[in-house]
């Protein structure tokens, strides 16, 4: 039977069969050997074939996995050479960001956007907790909105607490498989609870001593939406690794730079010090945001010559 993976705890998977029932599934030993080199052979969002073992126990064996349409990965925290597939078969990804308690850095947002570009997943940024923004944060929001919308990304201002911007965010989810992402403590679980109360996820106060929030979500999990579509909630992701991207490719994943690449004097231009660089020229003219260019240089700096 065809099924889709809703949750993964490492060795067990919760899958939903095309009969509409949920099963606890595991993979056959041999399956692991054939799987691609990642720390997890099966990820949330995967489309799989299952053999039902015992209906009364609702257990099943995953016998095959369909090719992934796309996926998002990050570098394994345990082994830098391996990657961990966060989720697959996505229509879009929403980054939850906050400008206060905790503050999401532009560097983090840009790394996330680069990952989405590299994996061909449309990205949206929701700035949450607008109720606690003061003049400084509201100005910063306007700057981000202008900058990201000019590049083509959708930007939403929301306060889950005050129920502002929620309908706009909810409308974006309809009939799509959406990966919800963002630092721990930005309000992802609160958002899901507010829009789809029956999920009743656990939420937790941002810890006062660090201001960074505690991990309350441990495993990625997919939920069916009442009005059609799926949402995938991920563990508090602090950093996305840029797996499988070379330094030379990086500017391809900045859409505003991608449009200029043919105009650089050298076709292997890295847009740093080279003469005749169209990207640098447009940074000077203001057509390419200087902040985005700085993010580009910062990300380049953290990549080694081979990969990520």
161 to 180, contacts with ligand GTP by CB under 6 A?
161
- Closer CB to Zn ion, residue 231 or residue 283? 283
From the CB of 218, what's the least distance to ligand GTP, in Å? 9
Among the listed ranges 9-17, 56-64, 112-120, 126-134, the one in contact with ligand GTP (CB under 6 A) is 126-134
- Closer CB to Zn ion, residue 151 or residue 155? 151
Give the start-end residues of each E strand in the chain. 2-8, 13-17, 22-27, 47-54, 59-65, 71-75, 83-88, 92-98, 123-128, 154-157, 177-181, 221-224, 230-233
> Among all residues, whose Cβ is closest to ligand GTP?
187
Binder to ligand GTP among 24, 70, 159, 246 (CB under 6 A)?
159
From the CB of 46, what's the least distance to ligand GTP, in Å? 22
- Closer CB to ligand GTP, residue 211 or residue 276? 211
Cα distances (angstroms) measured from residue 294 to each of 46, 48, 261, 266, 288: 36, 42, 17, 21, 11
- Interatomic CA distance for residues 148 and 305, integer angstroms: 28
- Closer CB to Zn ion, residue 50 or residue 264? 264
Nearest by Cα to 129 from 107, 150, 102, 167: 102
Are 29 and 62 a contacting pair, CB within 8 Å?
A: no
- Name residues whose C-beta falls within 8 Å of residue 4's C-beta, 6 or more positions apart in sequence: 15, 16, 45, 46, 47, 48, 222
191 to 220, contacts with ligand GTP by CB under 6 A?
203-206, 213, 215-217
270 to 289, contacts with Zn ion by CB under 5 A?
271, 277, 279
Binder to ligand GTP among 129, 271, 280, 292 (CB under 6 A)?
129
Going by the annotation, the residues of the binding site for GTP are 128-131, 182-190
Going by the annotation, the residues of the binding site for Zn(2+) are 264, 269, 271, 277
């Amino acid at each position: 039977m065809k099924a889709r993976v809703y949750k993964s705890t490492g060795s067990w998977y919760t899958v939903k069969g095309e009969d509409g029932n949920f099963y606890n599934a595991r993979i056959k030993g041999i399956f692991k050997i054939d799987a691609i080199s990642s720390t997890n052979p099966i990820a949330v969002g995967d489309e799989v074939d299952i053999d039902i073992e015992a209906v009364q126990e609702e257990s099943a064996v995953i016998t095959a996995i369909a090719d992934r349409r796309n996926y998002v990965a990050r570098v394994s925290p345990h082994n830098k050479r391996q990657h961990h597939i966060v989720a697959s078969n996505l229509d879009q990804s929403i980054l939850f960001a906050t400008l206060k308690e905790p503050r999401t850095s532009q560097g983090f947002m840009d790394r996330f956007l680069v990952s989405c570009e590299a994996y061909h997943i449309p990205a949206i940024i929701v700035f949450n907790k607008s109720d606690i923004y003061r003049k400084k944060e509201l100005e910063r929001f306007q700057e981000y909105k202008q900058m990201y919308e000019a590049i083509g990304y959708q930007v939403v201002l929301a306060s889950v607490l005050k129920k502002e911007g929620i309908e706009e965010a909810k409308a974006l989810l309809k009939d799509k498989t959406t990966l919800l992402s963002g630092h721990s403590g930005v309000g992802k679980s609160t958002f899901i609870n507010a829009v789809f109360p029956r999920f009743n996820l656990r939420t937790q106060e941002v810890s006062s001593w660090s201001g960074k929030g505690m991990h309350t979500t441990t495993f990625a999990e997919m939920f069916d939406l009442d009005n059609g579509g799926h949402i995938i909630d991920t563990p508090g992701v602090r950093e996305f690794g840029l797996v499988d991207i070379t330094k030379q490719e990086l500017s391809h994943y900045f859409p505003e730079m991608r449009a200029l690449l043919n105009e650089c004097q050298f076709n292997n231009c890295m847009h740093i010090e080279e003469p005749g660089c169209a990207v640098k020229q447009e940074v000077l003219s203001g057509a390419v945001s200087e902040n985005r260019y700085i993010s580009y240089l910062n990300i380049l700096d953290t990549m080694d010559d081979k990969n990520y």
